[in-house]
Structure 1
Amino acid sequence: MSSVRAIRHGVLAALLALLAGCATAPVTPAMRGDAERPAQASGWMRSELYFAVGNEDGNGTIDDARWRDFLDREVTPRFPDGLTVLDGYGQWRFREQGRLVRQRCKVLVLLHEDTAQRRTDIDAIRQAWKRETAHESVLWARQTVEVSF
């Protein structure tokens, strides 16, 4: 029995040594494949774009296939490193008519450097959606954020 116990202790000690080595080995950006991304940065923006995809009454509904096609054509080429899409529900009042519209929406969240090119890319996405759907607007909310990768 003591030889089995000694083997177990030896295996456990070897595993702990391996795990300790893994925990202390630094991971560099180049090892992760993102050498151009800083580990932490300030002066970045969080942009949220709100796209109407369907009115409560069922009129003007954009199906998931059409939305994914739009993402593939217009958004992903401009932001290939990543994005987040959230399903939402909201309402909007037309001021002139006083009419309230409730609708489903997609919220696109982009974290990006605050550059003229990124602002141009986002505006191009908004204009493409309005052209394709004949919607009046795509709300763009933005704020400065600090990021860490």
Structure 2
Amino acid sequence: MKIHRSLLAAVFAFQLAACATTSAPVTSSTLQGDAAHPAQTQGWVDTKLFFGLGPADHPEQGISEAQWRAFLDKEVTPRFPDGLTVIDVYGQWQGKQESTPERLHSKMLVIYYPDTSDNRGKIDAIRAAWKQRTGDQSVLRVTQPADVSF
């Protein structure tokens, strides 16, 4: 019994020591980045733009998917060729002269980029191009700092 207790005590001490010296494996991104996409970034922002495509209840009266993709190809992708995300959303908008909100089929465009005056100008140009093309009063923009890693 004495040997058995000694053996258990030794095994327990060994396990306790192993717990104290073992740490969780370090994990890192498998994508190391490049000059355009560094592994870690600073000074980047996340911008979301909201585009109304037309009445939610009558999509045939609004901008078609083909027209939307043509807009992306002409106005957005050349300005931000490194990548973007488009999400189908539903929204409501009430113009200054309207008494009730419009229910809209919409797109949310999400772009992460270095926060520079040049890039902010590109965002403004995209918004202006949409308003000119559609006659819309507004393209909602939400920009916030982003902690980005590739």
TM class, shorter-length: 0.7 to 0.9
State the shift of 1:49 in Å.
0.3
Q: Say which SS state the counterpart of residue 41 (structure 1) adopts.
A: coil
Q: Indicate the structure (1 or 2) with the bigger Cα radius of gyration.
A: 2
Alignment partner of 1:44 is 2:44: yes
- Correspondences of 1:1-149 after superposition (within 5 Å): 28-29=32-33, 34-58=34-58, 60-149=61-150
Higher strand share: 1
- For residues 57-97 of structure 1, what are the alpha-carbon distances to aligned partners after superposition, in whole Å with 9 as ceiling and x for unaligned? 42741000000000000000000000000000011223443
Evaluate the alpha carbon distance shift between residue 60 and residue 36 of structure 1 in structure 2; reply closer, same or farther with a 3 A threshold.
same
- Measure the CA separation in 2 of the matches of 1:50 and 1:27: 30
C-alpha displacement of 1:35: 3.2
Question: TM (normalized to structure 1)?
Answer: 0.74
Overall identity of the aligned pairs, in %:
48
Whether the 8 Å contact between 2:55 and 2:62 is mirrored in structure 1 is yes
Q: Supply the distance in 2 between the matched residues of 1:109 and 1:50 (Cα, whole angstroms).
A: 9
The structural deviation recorded for 1:36 is: 3.4
Change over 3 Å in CA distance of 1:85–1:116 after alignment to 2:
same
The answer for unaligned runs of 5 or more in structure 2 is 1-29
Say how many residue pairs are matched: 121
Q: Give the structure-2-normalised TM-score.
A: 0.74
**Structure 1 unmatched runs, 5+:** 1-25
| Aligned residue identity for 1:112 | Y
CA RMSD, aligned part only?
2.0
> What is the deviation of 1:106?
0.5
User: 1:54 Cα shift?
Assistant: 1.4
Q: Distance in 2 between matches of 1:130 and 1:146?
A: 30
Change (3 A) 1:134 1:27: closer
